Structure 1
């Protein structure tokens, strides 16, 4: 996806190593970042990419980060709220000096914390002092995980110092009653604890050279110790599910078949939602197949700085997920829908994989640095993904013809869609997007939408995408460069000299919007049919494959399942609206953990007993799981 950062043991600096600890497949949301702290963390993240995207580093300081609650970027924020200038940071960026940038950015944040602490101590009233302490603590967040990972004792001492500072600022009371003065002695003592640590670790005169930029303290770097640093994405990253959540249409469900009766498919469903099949850092950050492909469709909110040029796009052949797979080209692709996958081969944006199995293995091993999947895992994943179906559309027959429900404009547009144009080589839109073939031809064509990498390059041919369901998959083209279906029609009219009038374009757009529509595109939730209930049903279905795996004594695949499902059950419990049932869900997750512990000990009788208890408790809990 991005550039250069490994989730396993990485030589990070002189003498020291850092490892990124495990996580689960359900990411946790973060509180907003202050602009200057956000710019610092983005600097660390982008500074580890190879090659470094210096334009994005500069933007990290000049513009608000993606999704920021602040309208100002770090530079404007500093100008308005601080006497500390960003000249050293800008100078390092201009010189493209990575080490100097790290030092300048680190010192800027440390100086900002000191500046706010000065304001707190010099404040004339408790409210001003408390505000300054809160701002300082929000800035300290930029270093907090590094300190916590490297020096737990110092992290606890500094944590107590922040509490003491906040409690010592005094109170104005209510309408003058109950006012308490500031305890300046306590404030000074607490501030000294914080400032001493900053001076030694984040305001050093000479920082050790960094091979990996992290918020770890300088003393930890110089110690040469192995440090387990929690994995994190930078401010602005968004790997949460799309909202509203796309509706999942599965072929077997439409035929009334229960997934629990299809253990291979159910296991593949679990793998599709499991971060465990990938390597670090994807696994450690909780990124699974379903992270990008929500419910077989597109996660249009997914965004990772340095890998995504816009939401819903990602560069899967950079070195963030797998340094060996880094092609050193900034070429993020719009995430494709996987609906109707069994009909849409060959696979990959340019159709380079004839086999879905080979494509899937490439995603796991090459793109996301996972271990070689077992044949059973590939069988399961392919079996599951081949059940993805297109969204039902009452305005379209199964052979691609409009029904009476279509508008007159769409009917006129259908004629244009099937009309040959000189600018298309005396072919029609339907020549490639064959209506009877799910609006694709399973071939690759160069339509001129990809800039050649070099003179004479034949690298612009892309696999013909289906037009089914496209109303819900904007933006369009491989790089998401066109925001609407109308803009796609306009692009073809201009670049291919089709000679369409405005009325023609409107009709052709109406046709595309009709064949790309759906009767029910999104999951429908209510007070009882909640996202947790959907997740609970899925996770217990995943677990049902233990009925097959336990008799086979298949320890490898059992452990992968219980590690995925147990962790996600516990994590998803926090989203329950029925709070009284939450402890029971935690207990249910523990049952799976007991299955895993017994399997590791090769105590199959206990594993079977724990599994039987899980099934009984899950059935009892199901009615209250919302």
Structure 2
């Protein structure tokens, strides 16, 4: 058995695990996204085609690549076209012709028919197989291909979804078994297999193998009969294969000004509520909200999530186009211009805000992110107050090789000491300015201005669009790559770029020393969270979530239903989702019950039963205290 066949056999188990995780998350969407099972090559290409086909302008080169190459992170070594060539008698010529012609509707139709035909092809193999192992593998492959359509059918035609689900179960159970060493062998039930297969194939014929599909304004896996009915169906938002919106590993250390002074966040309800909002997908609109995307998704622990990647919106990990077509079509600038995610450390020192410094006010910048970039409702003044109160507590990482006024200490290496002199040296090619003229050491290596250094390609002749806000150099060792578009992979590459583009005339040794200086300034004593057997990631999450909930002590007496419900919906869902990561399995049911207790607070508030809400909140606090030591 080859490795890719083995991967197929892993799919069903992974799918069941993903489904079980999803069932826990009933109710409000959690900001903790669930990992999904791998995709078969042609199914992945189809889902990528749907996703890319809804972007404006449509990235046709990416559509072609989706079929020609494995999706990012794929467990398969070949793309869909090569996979089809080696595993199917179905040719992709009509689809490739439609891609060449850049005919969106034709690409949708041909890709949809191709997947439906592939399902039928595998079902033929299952029914005709002469041994149970071959039949079972064909059924697994067919079912994984059906996954391409499953969410559309479930959303639009739940009765059919249940019928087809039962048909898959019947297929699985009727393929027979070779037993163990010949013992316990059972024959296949051909009649049962054919009947179950007919349920699936008839539905495919009526909905995914039609000669002419209705014009699609939005490409989706909705059944054709439902589209023709004119009913409005909301398909849950999804990201295409190859996405990654999970927390980076190792987890960046979060440094908060009040914590360093020994102040407990539970004594700062406005800060704690802002901390919750920073982790809440509820403040955004769809699709971000439905996908569990929050502020912390990109700015992980106030830093940069260097693994974040969304096909069609990211050109590389750690970058995102926030004004493209996906998150908020009305804010689409129709330019393919993803930017490297900036760190938010030391935010109170780093204004103006935005890569080009277009927002003087952090409040205006934050509102723009919520409403314009991610399509959320207008935040209340309290929400903006809380978010700012929290974010203004973000501090830089401590660095024992640097004094508070930006000078190197004796702990710094000799190369960095030499590089410091170069950093402060005026260069004629820079107009008799030095590196430190913009990255001023005693103001956190900032000048709070925007400069055009020639790193941005001009949009048109005479454009003055190249000025970018001066970034701090603090903590930069952990925020690679560099420049607004992440075009330079290392700090050494940054030094080389300046030396070459500005004709500074540095020797190789001087470049090395200047790089050593930047690496020293950008270093930190403890950049990442340290975990062990009991000090787990879940324990950290549990502490944060119960701290978020502590703001109910302030909100409940005020009868502030709007902000209470935002909190309970967010925290209860996240507590349930995070419980699945616990290493202490025995305590997991208690955490699920605790999440339910918080949900009961929200349920009571919705019915204006404030006595019940207070009772559930009191019980939550008592139960949280009781299980805190076991929550790891």
Residue deviations 1:99-143 (CA, integer Å, cap 9, x gap): 000000001111111111122222222212211111111111101
Q: 1:73 aligns with which of 56, 79, 102?
A: 79
Q: Which residue of 2 aligns with 1:580?
A: 586
Instruction: Summarize the Cα distance change of 1:362–1:190 in structure 2 as closer, same or farther, 3 Å threshold.
Output: same
1:440 aligns with 2:449: no
Cα offset, 1:284, TM superposition: 1.0
Aligned length: 606
Asked whether the equivalents of residues 28 and 569 of structure 2 are also in contact (C-alpha less than 8 Å), the reply is no
Greater Cα shift, 123-132 or 332-341: 123-132
Measure, in 1, the Cα distance between the counterparts of 2:568 and 2:332: 32
Q: Which residue of 2 aligns with 1:338?
A: 344
Residue deviations 1:549-608 (CA, integer Å, cap 9, x gap): 111111111111111111111111111111221121122112212211222222222222
Q: Which consecutive segments of 4 or more residues in structure 1 shift more than 4 A? A: none
Cα offset, 1:87, TM superposition: 1.2
SS at match of 2:233: strand
Cα offset, 1:490, TM superposition: 0.9
- 1:167-566 matches, within 5 Å, as 167-566=173-572
Q: Which residue of 2 aligns with 1:165?
A: 171
Instruction: Summarize the Cα distance change of 1:250–1:157 in structure 2 as closer, same or farther, 3 Å threshold.
Output: same
Cα offset, 1:187, TM superposition: 1.5
Measure, in 1, the Cα distance between the counterparts of 2:478 and 2:98: 43
SS at match of 1:156: helix
Measure, in 2, the Cα distance between the counterparts of 1:584 and 1:336: 38
Measure, in 2, the Cα distance between the counterparts of 1:131 and 1:557: 51
Cα offset, 1:406, TM superposition: 0.8
Instruction: Summarize the Cα distance change of 1:143–1:320 in structure 2 as closer, same or farther, 3 Å threshold.
Output: same
In the superposition, the TM-score normalised over structure 2's length comes to: 0.94
Measure, in 2, the Cα distance between the counterparts of 1:471 and 1:137: 45
Q: Which residue of 2 aligns with 1:11?
A: none
Measure, in 2, the Cα distance between the counterparts of 1:597 and 1:161: 38
Residue deviations 1:271-311 (CA, integer Å, cap 9, x gap): 00011111111111111000000000000011111100011
Q: Which residue of 1 aligns with 2:151?
A: 145
Asked whether the equivalents of residues 29 and 570 of structure 2 are also in contact (C-alpha less than 8 Å), the reply is no
Q: 2:95 aligns with which of 65, 89, 94?
A: 89
SS at match of 2:474: coil
Greater Cα shift, 480-489 or 183-192: 183-192
SS at match of 1:185: helix
Asked whether the equivalents of residues 22 and 283 of structure 1 are also in contact (C-alpha less than 8 Å), the reply is no
Cα offset, 1:180, TM superposition: 2.3
Q: Which residue of 1 aligns with 2:606?
A: 600
Which structure ranks higher in relative contact order (CA pairs < 8 Å, sequence separation ≥ 6)?
A: 1
Cα offset, 1:22, TM superposition: 5.9
Residue deviations 1:460-498 (CA, integer Å, cap 9, x gap): 000000010001001111000111111111111111111
SS at match of 2:553: helix
Residue deviations 1:143-165 (CA, integer Å, cap 9, x gap): 11111111112111211211222
Cα offset, 1:177, TM superposition: 2.7
1:569 aligns with 2:590: no
Measure, in 2, the Cα distance between the counterparts of 1:53 and 1:577: 43
Asked whether the equivalents of residues 299 and 343 of structure 2 are also in contact (C-alpha less than 8 Å), the reply is yes
SS at match of 1:227: coil
In the superposition, the TM-score normalised over structure 1's length comes to: 0.95
Measure, in 2, the Cα distance between the counterparts of 1:555 and 1:172: 60
Measure, in 2, the Cα distance between the counterparts of 1:176 and 1:589: 49
